[in-house]
Structure 1
Amino acid sequence: MTEQITFFSYVNYLDIAAIVISSILAVLYLYRKIYFTKQGNLFLALAIVNIFMAVGSICYRVIENDPSHGAGLRYFLNIVCTSLTVTHLTLYFFYVYNISKNKDDSKKSPWGKVIPSIATIVILILVTNPFTKWFANMDEPGAMIPGPLYFAIFVQAILTFIIIIYMNITATRVISKNQSVVLWANIILVLALMFLKVHFSVNTADSFINSLIVVILFTVLENPSYFLYENGVAYNENAFYQAVGRFVKGNFKWVVFVGLEEKDYVNRLLPKEKITKIHRDFATKAHNSFNKDMLFYLGKSSFAVFTNDDADEVATKLINTYIEASHSDDESVGLTPYAGYLSFEDVNNADTLRKAKDIFDSRKKSANTMVRISRITSIELDRRRREIAVIRAIRKALEEDTLQVFYQPIFFAKSNQFEAAEALVRLRDEELGNISPKEFLPLAEENGLIIPLGEAVFRKVCEFIRTSDVRRLGVSFIEINMSLIQCLQYDMADRIISILSEYDVEPSLINLEISESAYKVDKEMVVKNVTKLRNYGVSFSLDDFGAGFANAEYIATIPVMFVNLAIELVTSAMEDRNSLIILKNYVSLIKDLRYGCIAKGVESTEMVESMKDIGCDAFQGYYYSRAMNEEDFIRYILKRE
């Protein structure tokens, strides 16, 4: 009977195809690659190891079907092929790991050490197997008998594959869409290989599937265009952050940034096409002046250059080149370029360059036309590191609900009682310790975290009111500070009303502190929110009155219950007679408008008596108490009663 020939009868040709494909890709990579990176080196290693895997597979099949070869040779080839499989999988892990961490080098994943350590142990088991027999043994006919640690290779493969899937999922927010699609496509290919092994007993398609994976990586992720600015005369941001490993090792002294000022009027003045043309013209002109390997486009109208020349001279030359580019046609455009430079002695990794670029971008937004060139110092980098760490701590606190709210009592002279308290948010991090509100609140505003932070604080206050029954303590209301950004949200009133209803809290127990600055930015929106909440029963205070330019117009038009005098205003009045006179007139105006007046920052009997004499109704400060957690606040109020 004639043996039926199927596709899988020729499955050995898959190994030959794998050798051809991987060899071509390795040669093409070396031929056309103009920018070598750790990621690219891993790709090249994947291709080369895959060639050896395919060669080993072919040799093993030939020897396996030739009885003239001894069992020892088959045994040796089996160990070699298995070791290459472990190596290839580990290299692919490093490839994915490198992609996922490139966006933030400051994050240290334990898997970067765990997976290679496991792979090393498995390979040691394989290499020492002739002496230990831990992996496998062979009887006389040549059959392989599993040893006590035979399962180790399967554990390593399964664990590594699971971690790769985990990294794909967790890295979705930081990697590009193309990278994500490619990595998931490769996982599908591996699953397809497993399916072939289980259902069709195909055990020689490994190298071919690996070659398909390498093809996908080469086509999408290892394409030179991934590292090039669109007109090809400069590298892009991807290349910039990858460059640290290549350039920082003594090859260059300085990285110089140059970019256009980031002002709203620039975008209004120029169409996007014009700005893009200026970028291209600048890149072309700078390419003619600087080595191509040193010029990078970083987005936001910014470029960078690596150089050994004098940083000030290079910065000046770049600024002049930018000015020429903005006048490269008949339409003259008056734009202001700025430059900053950083010593490579201060550069540790891509994360350092990223922080330096953040500092430079920040300077462009608040640029001083008198200072066109400035150095980015190690002190600024340390400050930026601290800011990023604090931002990370805020995010963590929001995710884990670990923000704390402290309460500082407010004493009312008429009743001689603590009738209110101000809620003050506190942040403590395991690594950073206690973080001052003066530090983390501005960062929360700048990084879009103040809305969730404010809502988290409001919820905690409502929970405290509900569980502690503050009225029995004699507390009539609790003040909660509202940031400028919160006040300008169109749905602010609706969100607050919703939370009050959710916690079943009486609106009269809430007093929201708002600042004059909110009215200056968008008076109509603030009045709309305030009016809706006042009608619901929530009261308001004008906070930090006198901290900046106190405007009587605002206290005359804002429908508030209290005006809170700024600490600076109270302190100044105690030190200067003229300031005291001015404060006294302010308080008189506030009282004439029938608002209550709260003096903040009182720290002594003298300050309390002086504020009483000029007509203040209530007092808050260290003279009475610091801010306390919920339990201490309750004990303090009960004790004073």
Structure 2
Amino acid sequence: MIIIRNQFHIAFYAAALAISISILLFTLLQKRTDKSQNRWFLCLLLIITLNSISEISTAVFEIIGNESDYNHFMLLASQNSYFILHTALCPALYNYVCSVTGKNRRREFARGMLLQVPFFITEFLAILNPVFNWVFYYDENLVFHRNNAELVIYWAAIFYFILSIFEILFAWKAVTKRKSIALIYFFFITFAGVYIQYKFIDIKFELLAEALALMGVMLAIESEDNRIDADTHIYNRLALQADLNNILTMNEKATIIFIKILNGKTLERITRSSNYDLLTTECAEFLKTLVPRYKIYHPIKETFIIICDKSDYKHIDNLTTAITNRFNNVWNIAEASIKLNAIVLKADTSNELCSVDDIMYISDSIIPSTIAAENIMDWILRRSEIEQAIKRNIINDNLEVYYQPTVYLDDYRIHGAEALLRMQDNTIGYISPEEFIPIAEQIGLVEHMDDFVLREVCRFIKYDIEPKDNIDCINVNLSVIQCLSPGFFEHIKGIVDEYGIDHSMINFEITETVGAEDYDVLSIVAHNLKAAGFSISMDDYGTGYSNMEGIFSLDFDVIKIDKTILWNAENDKRGKVILENTVKMIHDLDCKVLIEGVESEKHLNMLKKLNVDYLQGFYFAKPMPKSQFIEYLRK
């Protein structure tokens, strides 16, 4: 009977051993055993592997029987080694969970050691069992008997089990769903194995259950292929976002070092993509000589990030200096010498960086070369604040349209107005259009703003303007991004037609910033707008955005000359020549001329001689809310 039963047990133990060795080999082949989490996982694997061996040995010597002192000694040694090792399993599991959730980084050493006291007690009981038989013993018939100390070991295991579950629940939002589910799976399978073996002593299912549970953990947590950048073999964008979420959710203090290669895109074009990939790999290898691999991230081609915890604080200044010196030196790649232009920034999660979005924004930002190095962090954080404000104010419908009058030159009577978007954020206050509009274009929200302005203008024309106001049209700015989007014409025509207003009451202003390949599309849009009864203007002529091809191909009704041309003409002879010839050329093309930035009598007198058509500027009125503009019309 003992032989049959033990053969049955050996099958369970052999299966657990085979699974454990397979997981162990796979883990070692990955060569990612440098993190605390990895080491605790290896500890769990070794415990189960050695336990499987000791239990196979126990079963074999139970079959052989008590024929010699050697057999008896080996039987007791095998069973004792099982308890000595297995007593450490749940404490090791708890420490593994703490490593996965980041608790080990945050916990004070003394508190951590205090939590290990139950483990030390139970390990003491297991080690002294050969002397006192506190945990188990065999009778003269080789029948295994439990003793009272085994209950203590089980209760200690339950204690660590409960601690582990509480740690997962506490850090649930800080850990990825995949990791949380994997750990819950481990607990469920392990608990099932422990319970079955405790209730039915002859069913040795515990080790096999634990081995199966570790296989699930290996596949879901320890296998980090989805977190590794294929070229540099350091952590990628996905890993960065997950780890930052853990740090910020748990209010952990950390310093983030950003290494941004400013000339990366230029180098990629010049040196070919393959050489640039070699360069980023070399950069990653250099960073690995300074900090452990698992603290380095490569979210985009031009950015590396290092996350420093409290153990790194005293070395951070030396670290940033070493990185700055190396990155701004020459790199020899494929027999070519490449000079990087890099900046190194650092910021604390507790003071300057409050969300994953803030950090990813800094990572992804293209920093203008005009920004001084000491002002870069302020610039990035300001842009991040504005981006969040844009999203917040669009969602809350907290935008407002102002109107700046345009007048006829001959008698200064009202011609119309330009609709201008304004943003007064409840958190950071007033934000100028020069700040928020370029950012809105970059993050893909400018179309929402354009639609908002158009709807507000349509409501204004329909419900507030009276025939006696004698307004010719309201100028509405359009982004070229919006104009080039599929279905643009039908979209804006549909908005205007919702309100049933005359199309001639709206003049669309376009700042011409497109490349030559987009003129065909934009000219079709302009033709459709004019055919539908709208008028169109070129905005900001003379700023460097607009060019002659735009004037010829888009058939504008009005060309708005930028204020800088007027201001340069005020005191400079060459500027005056440019203004005079620009106005003459536009008139010769049968387009109307609107001059922006009129602020003085001197400007007026100069423009009267040029016979321009319309004027706009602070001399007549600043941009104003709708209610004030209505009062202005009816004075």
TM-score (normalizing by structure 2): 0.62
Equivalent residue, structure 1, for 2:326:
317
The offset of 1:417, in angstroms, is 1.8
1:466 aligns to what?
462
2:344 matched to 1:341?
yes
> Which whole-Å deviations, capped at 9, do the CAs of 1:343-385 have from their partners, x for residues lacking one?
568984665998677557545x7679xxxxx9953x3222222
Instruction: Indicate if the aligned counterparts of 1:286 and 1:318 stay in contact, CA closer than 8 A.
Output: no
C-alpha separation in 1, matches of 2:500 and 2:213 = 58
The equivalent of 1:95 in structure 2 is 171
Q: Partner of 1:436 in structure 2?
A: 432
Moved more, 274-283 or 335-344: 274-283
Code of the residue aligned with 2:464 in structure 1: it is: S
Other-structure match for 1:37: 102
Determine helix, strand or coil for the equivalent of 1:518. coil
Tell me, yes or no, if the aligned pair for 2:97 and 2:164 is still in contact at 8 Å.
no
Match of residue 613 from structure 1: 609
Equivalent-residue separation in structure 1 for 2:481 and 2:216 (angstroms): 46
| CA distance in structure 2 between the aligned counterparts of 1:447 and 1:434, rounded to whole angstroms | 20
Superposition deviation, residue 477 in structure 1: 0.7
Q: Which residue of 2 aligns with 1:292?
A: 292
Structure 1 CA distance for aligned equivalents of residues 603 and 262 of structure 2: 51
Q: Paired residue for 1:578?
A: 574
Question: Displacement of 1:25 after TM fit?
Answer: 6.2
How many equivalent pairs are there? 478
Q: Which amino acid is 1:589 matched to?
A: M
Partner of 2:624, secondary structure, is: coil
Q: Is the 8 A contact 2:258 2:363 kept in 1?
A: no
State the distance in 1 between where 2:320 and 2:483 align. Answer: 45
- Cα pair distance change 1:216/1:479, threshold 3 Å: farther
Contact 2:361 2:384 in 1 (8 A): no
Q: 1: CA distance between counterparts of 2:94 and 2:231? A: 21
Instruction: Name the amino acid aligned to 1:257.
Output: I
Q: Who is 2:268 aligned against?
A: 266
Q: Partner amino acid for 1:475? A: I
Alignment of 1:142-153 (within 5 A): none
Distance in 2 (CA, whole Å) between partners of 1:277 and 1:34 is 33
- Answer whether contact 2:106 2:252 (CA < 8 A) is retained: no
Match of 1:536 in 2: 532
Q: Does the C-alpha gap of structure 1 residues 567 and 255 become closer, same or farther in structure 2, counting only changes over 3 Å?
A: same
Shift of 1:255: 3.8
- In structure 2, the partner of 1:303 is 304
2:561 is aligned with 1:565: yes
Rate the CA distance shift 1:26–1:529 in 2: closer, same or farther, 3 A: farther
CA distance in 1, matches of 2:430, 2:409: 33
Residue 475 (str. 1) matches residue 476 (str. 2): no
| Alignment-derived partner of residue 12 in structure 2 | none
* Consecutive unaligned residues in structure 1, runs of 5 or more: 1-19, 56-80, 100-178, 191-211, 369-373
Report if aligned partners of 2:267, 2:276 keep a CA contact under 8 Å in 1.
no
- Residue number in structure 2 paired with 1:64: none
Q: 2:259 aligns with which of 251, 257, 260?
A: 257
Q: Distance in 1 between matches of 2:304 and 2:472?
A: 58
Give how far 1:228 is off: 5.6
Question: Does the C-alpha gap of structure 1 residues 316 and 616 become closer, same or farther in structure 2, counting only changes over 3 Å?
Answer: same
- The answer to whether the 8 A contact 1:260-1:335 is kept is no
Q: CA deviation at 1:608?
A: 1.8
Whether the 8 Å contact between 1:356 and 1:376 is mirrored in structure 2 is: no
Q: TM-score, normalised by structure 1?
A: 0.61
Q: Percent identity?
A: 23
**SS at 1:263's partner residue?**
helix
The CA deviation string for residues 469-501 of structure 1, in whole angstroms up to 9 with x for no partner, is 354411111101112322332332121111112
One-letter amino acid of the structure 1 residue matched with residue 504 of structure 2: S
Q: Please tell me whether Structure 1 or Structure 2 has the larger radius of gyration of its CA atoms.
A: 2
CA contact (8 A) 1:397 1:403 kept: yes
Asked whether 1:522 is paired with 2:522, we answer no
Retained in 2: the 8 A contact 1:236–1:297?
A: yes
The amino acid that maps onto 1:96 is W
Aligned equivalents of 2:579, 2:622: Cα separation in 1: 25
Q: CA deviation at 1:233?
A: 6.1
Q: What secondary structure sits across from 2:615 in the alignment?
A: strand
1:342 is displaced (CA, Å) by: 2.9
Structure 2 residues without counterparts, runs of 5 or longer: 1-84, 123-157, 188-211, 309-315
Deviation for aligned residue 1:633: 0.8
Rounded Cα–Cα distance in structure 1 between residues aligned with 2:357 and 2:388: 16
Does structure 1 retain, via aligned residues, the 8 Å contact 2:483–2:522? yes
State whether residues 260 and 343 of structure 2, in contact with CA within 8 Å, keep that contact through their aligned partners in structure 1: yes
Distance 1:577 1:317, change over 3 A: closer
Structure 1 distance, partners of 2:442, 2:563, is 24
SS of 1:609's partner is helix
Letter in 2 for 1:504: G
* Whole-Å separation in 2 of the counterparts to 1:394 and 1:400: 10
Give the drift of 1:534. 0.9
